Amino acid sequence: QTPEMTGALIRDKEARAASFTSEDKDIVVSTARRLAKELGVFLHIGSTAILRADGKLANRALLFGPDGAALATYDKIHMFDVDLDNGESWRESAAYEPGTEAVVTEIEGAKLGFAVCYDLRFPQLFRAEALAGADLLSVPAAFTRQTGEAHWHVLLRARAIENGAYVIAAAQGGLHEDGRETYGHSLIVDPWGRIIAEAAHDEPDVIVAEIDPAQSLAARKKIPNLRNARDFAVNAGLGEAPRLRGAAS
């Protein structure tokens, strides 16, 4: 797995905009396809900017198999539109169109559920994927230094624990040319919430861990919260109960 926005670190905004193209012409996609085939591995491009047929951009994750074939794509659903107290302001929705579909795909006995960066803060997405059979959850990211220091580790461990699933999260890290700083600390978390591999903050690194789907089954047997979950109404004294956004039916 690679981080969010693999191959999209061009500082000049005009040059970057000019580089956007369709999936079949994108150099990140073609390179990933070639590398997956040459190395005989599954290769997950955390995400890259893809120009859709309607002229809008998608923040798209892609998975390639050992033969180079595209196995799945996922367009990031939740857009990072925030104003941080350190003065940073982000409006991802100004450039990208949000996806509308969660994606789970099978790879060699495991089922992989997709997410990208800010999706991490929306547990209902991960719950829906776990209920669809995912025992491996993917969260490539580019967390800022400020938000990463506060929330990165705890959110990833929480998603693993809540769903009894492995979480794999490759992350951008270090100081960028435009002055922004990303948190790094790529992680692999096991279904019991233990960190089993971690990269440094700002040095290039590759982390590896053994993934055993049986460990997901074991965690879910110990804490069967997926099976024990119940529907419920919300009484907030406001008349009609508010609707829970993003709840799986």
Listed in sequence order, the residues at least 6 apart from 213 whose beta carbon sits closer than 8 Å to its beta carbon are 109, 110, 135, 136
Q: Provide the pLDDT for residue 201.
A: 80
The distance of Cα 227 from the centroid of its chain, to the nearest Å, equals 25
**90 vs 116, residue with greater confidence:** 116
Q: Provide the pLDDT for residue 249.
A: 44
* Residue among 59, 65, 58, 30 at smallest CA distance from 47: 59
The structure tokens 């993003």 sit at: 246
Mean pLDDT confidence for 80-88: 83
* Residue among 160, 179, 180, 178 at smallest CA distance from 169: 160
Q: Provide the pLDDT for residue 113.
A: 99
Contact between 171 and 3 (Cβ < 8 Å): yes
Percent of the chain, pLDDT > 90?
Answer: 72
What average pLDDT is seen over the chain?
A: 91
pLDDT at 11 over 90: no
In angstroms, rounded to a whole number, what is the distance separating the alpha carbons of residues 81 and 92? 6
Angle in degrees, 0-180, between the axes of helices 123-131 and 153-163, rounded to the nearest 10 = 30
Domains identified in the chain and CATH numbers: 13-228 (3.60.110.10)
State pTM to two decimals. Answer: 0.91
Please report which confidence band the pLDDT of residue 14 belongs to, taking 50, 70 and 90 as the band edges: low
**220 vs 231, residue with greater confidence:** 220
Q: Provide the pLDDT for residue 10.
A: 62
